[in-house]
Amino acid sequence: MEQQPLVDRTRENIVILAAFMVTVITITVMTIIPGKKSVTIRPSVSAVRIEDIMLSRDNTTAPKRTVFDAQAVVQHWGTDPFLREEISTGAPAPEQAAVAEDLVLTMVLISGNQKTARINNRSYHEGDVVNGAKILSIEKDGVLVERKGVKTRLARKKRAVTLKQQSSTP
């Protein structure tokens, strides 16, 4: 029996080892990254009976409804569009009227920790001074200001809406 040279056996072993490694790597990759498997399901109406549906229904495991926290929504989006304006019960006190007569609040923006009030067509923050009045706090329903020791609450001015009546005659 003739022996193969050492170089030929080594080369043969390397080829076998390489083929084995390629096989192992291929199998590993196929198990880690599965290919798309297409499965066609054709529902059959005759396979389901109404009695089976009614018997399998369990009223205790009804799907849970998602409930949104109103305060979280207001904090996320800013002001509450459904906020009602305060009803005025009469004319403000004379000193309060003097404080607020030159201040017109048109908008309040609250987003997280940032509070901005739009007064006299300019933006202000808590602590700012506008026409000699210091802004003490900005809330979603108004702004509290102080001028010469007198505190006054500014409310947003409502927009006037004119409704046209349609005549009923053609």
Interval 141-168: pLDDT, tens:
889 999 888 898 888 766 544 555 566 5
pLDDT value, residue 141: 84
pLDDT at 155: 84
pLDDT tens by residue, 106-133: 888 888 888 999 988 899 999 999 988 9
Report how far residue 167's alpha carbon sits from residue 170's, in angstroms, rounded to the nearest whole number: 8
Share of the chain above pLDDT 70, in %: 49
- pLDDT at position 44 over 80: no
- Among 141, 31, 48, 45, which residue's Cα sits nearest to residue 86? 141
Query: What pTM, to 2 d.p., does this model score?
Result: 0.39
102/130 Cα distance (integer angstroms): 10
Distances (CA, A) of 24 to 28, 35, 48: 6, 17, 46
Contact between residue 142 and residue 87 where contact means Cβ atoms under 8 Å apart:
no
Among the listed residues 116, 105, 104, the one whose alpha carbon sits nearest the alpha carbon of residue 78: 116
pLDDT at 73 over 80: no
